[in-house]
Amino acid sequence: MSAPNKSYDPVEVETLKPEEIERMRDEALAAFAAAGSLDALHEAKVAHTGPASPLALANREIGALPPHAKAEAGKRVGMARGGVNKALAARQAELEAERDARVLVEEDVDVTLPYDRVRSGARHPLTTLSERIEDIFVAMGYEVAEGPQVEAEWFNFDALNIGPDHPARGEADTFFVQTASGGGSAVREGGTESGVVLRTHTSPVQIRSLLERELPVYVICPGRVYRTDELDATHTPVFHQVELLAVDEGLTMADLKGTLDHMVQSLFGEGMKTRLRPNFFPFTEPSAEMDMLCYVCKGESVGNPDRPCRTCSSEGWIELGGCGMVNPRVLTACGVDPEKYSGFAFGFGIERMLMFRHNVEDMRDMVEGDVRFTRPFGMEI
Ligand code: PHE
């Protein structure tokens, strides 16, 4: 019986042969060289330097060798592993440098490009002007009041003393949503069946304010109104009004005049004033048409052909809108005692004011929504 073979195992030694070790090393180097990305290199690293890699397995075999063969094999495997790690580190550095260079190009920012290629919009001058007018009155203690644009006929007409036969109530001027005889969806307001219209002026907000608020009432009512006009250079079926209502004890026409003068001075500068011409509105009595001094020529173009004024057509005055003392019938309809209280109101169109204040010649420019129209008015958003 032969003694156990303690010094030599041909099977195990097979993996530690110089040409085997060399082959393992070369395979690793080839795999690293072939790795085209850091991910691929990571895979090659696991395969060729990880605990299950051929060289790691070979290294484990060394312990089983006879002492005299250990040093030689250890050196061989160690050198091969050293070479493999070095090649790995070199390839790693190479691929990282490539990636960094690529990222620099891909994420390059051209700091010379204009930053504002996407143009910002602008607030519409109608909004800006309307808010400016509101501010003048808020500064005097008025409150901003708003009401629905789809309005009961009673608020838009009846309560304002505009009787059923008034021409403005006709379909020629008013957009009807529902007529009073229209059955189920007509509304009940002021004790009667009322139709529904798109409000033709902001005056129904006077009524709502008087019904809803405690006296005295000082409100400014901006808003959109509707009339059956065709859109052209001077008409639009949807436009904006600002209406003012003050109801208190002892208010007179002098208060109305002073308030109007203050408004035009705030909007157009010192020395501005208004004038009143008799007129008729069902909801005010007495009623007047209000004009303001032309803010360009201050009236100096009148009778002076050498200095014609385009803004007022040399009239010296610009028509603004309507005004008057609130008709006692309106106060009564809103449950306010006309013996104790009086009030004044006025209303005018914002589009019209925008036209003469900023020389806008065509109303269609205001509704088309082209930012080239709004931008010159400043106020970016
Ligand atoms: N509501 C009137 C209109 O639209 C304007 C107006 C308001 C007149 C208040 C007098 C008082 O024409």
Length of the chain measured in residues:
381
Structure tokens at 23: 């082959």
For 291-320, what is the mean pLDDT? 94
Q: How confident is the model at residue 1 (pLDDT cuts 50, 70, 90)?
A: very low
Question: Which of the two residues, 377 and 6, has the higher pLDDT score?
Answer: 377
Pocket-testing residue among 243, 277, 348, 352, ligand 1, by greatest number of atoms within 8 A of Cβ: 243
**What are 212-229's pLDDT values in tens digits?**
999 999 999 999 999 999
**What are 340-349's pLDDT values in tens digits?**
999 999 999 9
Please tell me the distance between residue 8's alpha carbon and the centre of ligand 1 in angstroms.
118
Closest ligand 1 atom to 203 CA: 1
Strand 143-144 and strand 217-226: pairing?
Answer: parallel
Q: Is 326 in the pocket of ligand 1 (CB under 6 A)?
A: no
Reply yes or no on whether the pLDDT at 138 is more than 90.
yes
Question: 41 - beta bridge partners?
Answer: none
342 near 251, Cβ under 8 Å? yes
Consult the annotation and say whether 43 binds a ligand: no
**What are 309-335's pLDDT values in tens digits?**
989 999 999 999 999 999 999 999 999
Reply yes or no on whether the pLDDT at 109 is more than 90.
no
Predicted local confidence at residue 184, as pLDDT = 47
Q: Give just the sign of the alpha carbon dihedral 206, 212, 214, 218.
A: negative
Q: CB 144: neighbour CB atoms within 10 A?
A: 13
Q: How confident is the model at residue 376 (pLDDT cuts 50, 70, 90)?
A: confident
Residue nearest to atom 7 of ligand 1 (CA): 347
Q: Is 322 in the pocket of ligand 1 (CB under 6 A)?
A: yes
User: By mean pLDDT, which of 69-73, 111-115, 118-122 is the weakest?
Assistant: 118-122
Residue nearest to atom 3 of ligand 1 (CA): 201
Q: How confident is the model at residue 11 (pLDDT cuts 50, 70, 90)?
A: very low
Please tell me the distance between residue 271's alpha carbon and the centre of ligand 1 in angstroms.
25
Question: Which of the two residues, 105 and 16, has the higher pLDDT score?
Answer: 105
Predicted local confidence at residue 237, as pLDDT = 95
Q: How confident is the model at residue 176 (pLDDT cuts 50, 70, 90)?
A: very high
Determine the residue type at 185. S
Q: Is 321 in the pocket of ligand 1 (CB under 6 A)?
A: yes
Question: 123 - beta bridge partners?
Answer: none
Please tell me the distance between residue 320's alpha carbon and the centre of ligand 1 in angstroms.
11
**Fold designation for 125-377:** BirA Bifunctional Protein; domain 2 (3.30.930)
* N-terminal to C-terminal alpha carbon distance within the chain: 102
345 near 283, Cβ under 8 Å? yes
Instruction: Assign residue 291 a region (left: φ > 0; alpha: ψ between -120 and 50; beta: otherwise).
Output: beta
Q: How confident is the model at residue 110 (pLDDT cuts 50, 70, 90)?
A: confident
Q: Is 259 in the pocket of ligand 1 (CB under 6 A)?
A: no
247 near 215, Cβ under 8 Å? yes
Minimal CA–CA distance to 162: which of 134, 200, 125? Answer: 200
> What average pLDDT is seen over the chain?
89
Distance CA 27, CA 30 (A): 5
296 near 309, Cβ under 8 Å? yes
The residues spanned by each domain of the chain are 14-103, 125-377
As a whole-number percent, the residues of the chain with pLDDT over 90 amount to 70
